[in-house]
Amino acid sequence: MAAAIILGPSPSIAQDREQVKVAFEHALPNVEGKRMVAVTVTYPPGAKSLAHHHAASAFIYAYVLSGAIRSQVGNDPAKVYHAGESFYEMPGAHHSISENASDKEPASLLAVFVVDSKDQPLTTPDRAPGSR
């Protein structure tokens, strides 16, 4: 299932990239055709995600669990969010920056997707890992 969330990094670059783990997934019983998926995203020091888009129907709420996350969504300016702070992404948004703001401490966030039940994958990188 994690592969459906984001294309996983190869082991040789794992230290440079985030680790994504599904924490919860369930159909919404009172909203036909929708599901909720929660994932934890862990960033080692200095790690980052590739620029990416989420499923077209996905509304995302992100809560920083630890450390500090630098994020830029759409045309908004990049911002650093610290543990206890949150942000959201509208359906179809482009996430150009998502990274650990520290090169010394790890960081993590909880991302909660409300998405059409059939939308897969939830995250698609702009380019394949390792390509230039």
Phi and psi based region of residue 46 (left: phi greater than 0; alpha: psi -120 to 50; beta: remaining): left
Domain that holds residue 79: 38-116
- 54 within a domain of the structure (yes/no): yes
Q: What is the count of structural domains for the chain?
A: 1
User: Which of 48, 11, 14, 28 shows the shortest CA–CA distance to 113?
Assistant: 28
Within a domain: 3 = no
Q: Report the alpha-carbon distance of residue 28 to residue 34 in Å, rounded.
A: 6
Domain holding 80: CATH number?
Answer: 2.60.120.10
| pLDDT tens per residue, range 45-80 | 999 999 999 999 999 999 999 999 999 999 999 999
Helix (H) or strand (E) holding 95: strand 94-100
Please report, for residues 100, 102, 129, the alpha-carbon distance to residue 105 in angstroms, rounded to integers and kept in the order given.
8, 6, 23
Q: Is 15 within the bounds of a domain?
A: no
Residue 45 inside a domain? The answer is yes
User: Taking 80 as the threshold, does the pLDDT of residue 12 lie above it?
Assistant: no
> Does 79 map to a domain?
yes
The tens digit of pLDDT for each residue in 81-96 reads 999 999 999 998 999 9
Nearest residue to 95 via CA among 132, 40, 43, 58: 58
Which residues on neighbouring strands pair with residue 80, listed in sequence order? 70
pTM beyond cutoff 0.85: no
